[in-house]
Amino acid sequence: MASRKISWGPFPTNMKQFGFTLDKAIAYANTNKAYAAIIRIDVEVSVIQFAHFSKTIDPWIFKNGVLTFTDLDILNKAILGISHVF
């Protein structure tokens, strides 16, 4: 968190996925205890064009869709705020 950047972590999947609301992210985390941390990031709106948008990833939880980023350099340059919320 101190670096204010998102990283791949020890077991990279080469993507990072984000829900639009904290409630939906927590609902998803409760379905799989391997996801023990939820990070909130606020980004410049313009970065969304570089994400893949899907309404078919866990649609029973993420009714508004999910954003998937595969280029962390672009994402990290657009971060306005970052915090560990759960």
CA distance 69 to 9: 15
Residue with tokens 């705020």: 81
CA distance 73 to 78: 9
- The amino acid at 63: K
Pull the structure tokens for residue 61.
Answer: 């939880």
Q: Are 12 and 69 in contact (CB under 8 A)?
A: no
Averaged confidence pLDDT in the chain: 88
Whats the size of the chain, residue-wise?
Answer: 86
**Rounded average pLDDT over 36-64:** 91
Phi, psi angles (nearest 5°) of residue 53: -100, 135
Residue with tokens 């340059």: 77
Q: How confident is the model at residue 5 (pLDDT cuts 50, 70, 90)?
A: confident
**Rounded average pLDDT over 43-72:** 94
Q: Which residue has the higher pLDDT, 73 or 36?
A: 73
Residue with tokens 């899907």: 54
Predicted model pTM: 0.83
